[in-house]
Chain A
Amino acid sequence: MPQPVIAARQLTKTYGDFTAVAGIDFEVAPGESFGLLGPNGAGKSTTMRMVGAVSTRTSGELSILGLDPDDHGPDIRSQLGVVPQQDNLDQELRVRDNLLVYGRYFGLSRGVVAERADALLEFAQLADRAKAKVDDLSGGMKRRLTIARALINEPRILLLDEPTTGLDPQARHILWDRLFRLKEQGTTLVLTTHYMDEAEQLCDRLVVVDKGRIMAEGSPAALIREHSSREVLEVRFGSDRNAEAAGRIADIGDRLEVLPDRILVYSDDGESALETIAHRGLEPLTSLVRRSSLEDVFLRLTGRSLIE
């Protein structure tokens, strides 16, 4: 592996008695697309803030682009692009001015910033909105503008905290497409998400985080292979019959997960598992065979769902 652009060892952040990040280790290689997957409150955003050199660690080691953020905050920040969880676009400025002004914060010249702003508006599909007020943009457009803004200093690492939370499906797909292009161009992406589909689409490698700790690490496919079966059968018997039915099918498949509203049967062959259930005289109200996802990995590792 080439010299990592981010290296964390026993990285810890506490606020008083509360431990937000409890000694995590990870490395990110240049050009890699790395994800932190976990539910709300897992410590993802805190980790991102430490990586972004806007939050000091309580203990452990952290190196960003070979520099210690405690000593070189501004040097590190000048080479990062940050897309925060909540848009903090400058509402008092128009769309293009947002890019120009932000670029100047990095000490870039007017000419350089103007040239990049036009290219980035094109990239963000906002060229026809250059003079619009930020408030008049849709949620998806604001996010794209935030990403364009984060690219104005040609960052070596782009940090995205929950990039598509709160967007409608269409806007999410447009955004994923843009991020995928960046990834193809070789930009190092670090993103947090609690959407498994997002992690599967965008991340080469990810860590599953829960309660400030890393539960597992690997590529999405490897994590699924390692911690789940190939397929999952979801059956619903109705909330009052679920528990009883679960007792009667406990031996089917590799493993059973009983949720309040449904039972998940982990098996490499979901269809045959469903047949077996039917043979035992049980008739589920609904049934669905699907491929295992990171959601299942998370459920397996923590006993809880990603989105609660």
Chain B
Amino acid sequence: MTAAPASTADATAPLTRQRSSLYAGNTGAVIRRGLLATRSTNYLVVLSGFFEPVFYLLSLGVGFGALVGTVQTSTGTEVSYAAFIAPALLAVSAMNGAVYDSTWNVFFKLNFSKLYQGMLTTSLGPLDVALGEILLALLRGAMYAIGFMVIMQVFGLNLAWTALLAFPAVLLIAFGFASLGMAITSYMKTFQQIEWVTFIMLPMFLFSATFYPITVYPEPIQWMIQALPLWHGVELVRGLTTGALSGMMLVHVGYYLVMIAIGIVFTTNRLRVLFLK
């Protein structure tokens, strides 16, 4: 697209060139900026997202759960209803935090405060910005999740020592949603389009084997649910907190790794096209 002057001086040049124009190794500056900016954040708004899954746990897990009794996990273990839905809600809280931050907040910074545009007139590359902002969104998801895990511990819903591993698992889940969320947001032009994300998230939250085993669905619907990211998060965390481990967990982890990679690649490329073309 550009008339590059003919130069064959160094065959390795284009490769290093590509990397340096995308990444300055200074993601830290983007993260520090984000942390400093949270000082002016309205914490009431931040906390509202945290309480949503907590309220579900109280009303459905504790209240409704008294009627249900026990439920079978995918590996056949019998657990109390509250212990069944709590890990799912933990995954949801990680998702919520990451998605709120990577959609609404990112959209604002992208289109109104022109933050990324400003960042990319410095020596920062689009990958520095993408990675920094995704990690910040992940942080919010992680904060929600840690709070939720404390509540689970208080209610005695962490049934096995492997529940400790749920922490890195929720980080992974938050990373995945933050990464994909920011990628999707970077293509959006209006606030209305973000409403679509909310519109998709609600049914995904309700139907991803969150409140009952996936086996209640006929096979084709099961396949559909299993294609969506939240189900993998729910199953991964549920296996860890209930101690029902299985080889499928590696698939869940793999799903999120792919999601993270896709999100970063698309976000970086989109920032480059928007601000460096």
- Interchain CB contact under 8 A, A105 and B29: yes
Q: In the bound complex, what is the Cα–Cα distance between A91 and B4 (angstroms)?
A: 39
Residues of the B chain whose Cβ atoms lie less than 8 Å from the Cβ of A60: 3
Say whether B75 faces chain A, with CB atoms less than 8 Å apart: no
Residues of the B chain whose Cβ atoms lie less than 8 Å from the Cβ of A70: 2, 4
Residues of the B chain whose Cβ atoms lie less than 8 Å from the Cβ of A133: 40
Residue of A nearest to B122 (CB): A105
- Interchain CB contact under 8 A, B20 and A88: no
With A102-B122, A107-B29 known to touch, is A90 a contact of B113 (CB < 8 Å)? yes
Say whether B276 faces chain A, with CB atoms less than 8 Å apart: yes
- Interchain CB contact under 8 A, A90 and B37: yes
Say whether B189 faces chain A, with CB atoms less than 8 Å apart: no
Contact of A73 among B36, B119, B276 (CB under 8 A): B276
Residues of the A chain whose Cβ atoms lie less than 8 Å from the Cβ of B125: 74
Residues of the B chain whose Cβ atoms lie less than 8 Å from the Cβ of A93: 33, 36-37, 40
Q: In the bound complex, what is the Cα–Cα distance between A92 and B117 (angstroms)?
A: 15
Residues of the A chain whose Cβ atoms lie less than 8 Å from the Cβ of B20: 74-75
- Interchain CB contact under 8 A, A92 and B122: no
Contact of A57 among B2, B30, B276 (CB under 8 A): B2
Residues of the A chain whose Cβ atoms lie less than 8 Å from the Cβ of B5: 61, 68
Interface range, B side = 20 to 34
| Closest beta carbon of chain A to B120's beta carbon, Å | 6
Say whether A276 faces chain B, with CB atoms less than 8 Å apart: no
Contact of B123 among A57, A88, A107 (CB under 8 A): A107
Which of the 9-residue segments A31-39, A76-84, A237-245, A265-273 touches chain B? A76-84
Residue of A nearest to B22 (CB): A74
- Interchain CB contact under 8 A, A105 and B26: yes
Residues of the A chain whose Cβ atoms lie less than 8 Å from the Cβ of B113: 88, 90-92
Q: In the bound complex, what is the Cα–Cα distance between A77 and B128 (angstroms)?
A: 15
Residue of B nearest to A12 (CB): B3
Q: Which of B1-44 contact A (CB under 8 A)?
A: 1-5, 13, 17, 20-21, 24, 26, 29-30, 32-33, 36-37, 40
| Closest beta carbon of chain A to B204's beta carbon, Å | 30
- Interchain CB contact under 8 A, B33 and A74: no
Which of the 9-residue segments A48-56, A228-236, A282-290 touches chain B? A48-56
- Interchain CB contact under 8 A, A90 and B123: no
- Interchain CB contact under 8 A, B21 and A73: yes
- Interchain CB contact under 8 A, B118 and A88: yes
Q: Which of A89-139 contact B (CB under 8 A)?
A: 89-93, 97, 101-102, 104-107, 133
B interface, CB within 8 angstroms of A = 1-5, 13, 17, 20-21, 24, 26, 29-30, 32-33, 36-37, 40, 113-115, 117-125, 275-277
Known: A61-B5, A71-B13, A74-B125. 10 other contacts (CB 8 A): A56-B277, A58-B2, A80-B121, A88-B114, A88-B115, A90-B33, A93-B33, A101-B32, A101-B36, A104-B26
A interface, CB within 8 angstroms of B = 52, 54-61, 68, 70-75, 77-78, 80, 82, 84, 86, 88-93, 97, 101-102, 104-107, 133, 153
